[in-house]
Chain A
Amino acid sequence: MISFEEVSKTYPGGQQALVKVNFHIAPGEMAFLTGHSGAGKSTLLKLISIMERPSVGKVLINGHDLNTITRRQIAYIRRDIGMIFQSHQLLMDKTAFDNVALPLVIEGYTHKEINKRVMAALEMVGLHDKAKYFPMMLSGGEQQRIGIARAVVNKPPILLADEPTGNLDPKLSMEIIKLFEEFNRAGVSVLIATHDLGLIARMRYRTLTLRRGRMITDGLTESEGDML
């Protein structure tokens, strides 16, 4: 589903964020991406959502080379990728409902369809009774779940999460991860970047580890052993 082939990213100024990264995530797989702050986790996710372009190498999604995607096509790529951020990236002057509805409005769904899907997504994250609330009236965990509802409302085949549990306590973090597991069971490929090693240790998922821009393990050996 997601493939990196010899991908390096050097930022202007010479900072090497990623060095010759190779890995492949299969369709319907759920994996964690870990490493210290500044190891290149965010850069890696940005290369998938084309917020950055690789300096060298190829990023492929479903066999399509992202280097061939033009500026104008980026928007359509992002509709296939649900993105979740540590800082939620919610619109503070819009209700939870309107926030979740945004991807559907952009894609031109009918009013009826939007209503149905947004309520279903809010139901999934357990916030259907807070549709009319503004983000400021919600707790950190609830805000994060609104962000997740927005990411999955148009049923993308790929879900990327950048430190989704960053500000949450372990219990809330676990709830969020459980949500991701649910989506994964529905066939969505999920890649979660986190430095919360304790959280990962409690889960038995493939873990890719970055250190100073290099992938020191792509987690295949351990996870294969675990699965067998």
Chain B
Amino acid sequence: MNDRPRIRRKDPARDAPVRDWSNMFRGPGAPAASSTEAPPAPLPPGRTAPSGVPDASAAPPLPSAFNDEARIGIETAYEVIDQHLREGRLAAQAQAPRDTPGTGPFGVAAPSAMSISSDSIQQVVTQGLRFYSSLMPLWAAFIKSLAAATVVPDASAAAAAGIAPAPLAPAPFPRAAADGRGPVIVEIASTRMARVTIDLPPAANAPNLALGALHPLDPGQPPLLDIALAFDPVANRHVVRIRVPDAQPAGVYSGVIVDRDAGAPRGTITLRIDG
């Protein structure tokens, strides 16, 4: 037993983890942050760290000058991009009166509109020619192909011409929406067993949801295109309709549910097709 008095050291000055973005780029076994290495980069007020970012709490405290340098650097960058976005919106607003209200600089309808009328095509053609008259040869080719694109694919046409919806497999959305609109209804037309999982938080159950193609996990396989998501006002529910072609390879497919009003992804849908 050692008779020497026990050494007591003062508590460290830091009593909270130093969350350091830059530490994530340090390789295994590399020294922790020092005064010559990357300092912490705090996010601006109101911004939260994404999940999955390593906690760099093991790093020793850094001199305040470096903390200031990091904070100022990120704040500067956010100020630059915020100002750029503000300027972009102002420019878009300034452009709008010259065109149809609520449309883009060429008078094109809102981005969510995937169909186009003959009137708007005429408008596009006229304004396109006005803006880009100096690029006549290329624009001529463009407008020619534009005219060929007036026929909008009808999702129901494939169903009418194809397989009858034999084994209908309704898979009710497991969670009821908080606003009382009820769950999503799923209708699948498939000759094979197919299971659907929808991850759509009730709060995200906005009326104007949309769904594109379902993308296979295996990038070599074709996507599943015959899918539609619509709000049924009678049932007061969203209805997802999926038709699985016989030639569609077995596998897992997923897609993003987008809120067209907010222009933001709101949830996901996953479809597993058995072989």
Asked if chains A and B come from one complex, the reply is: no
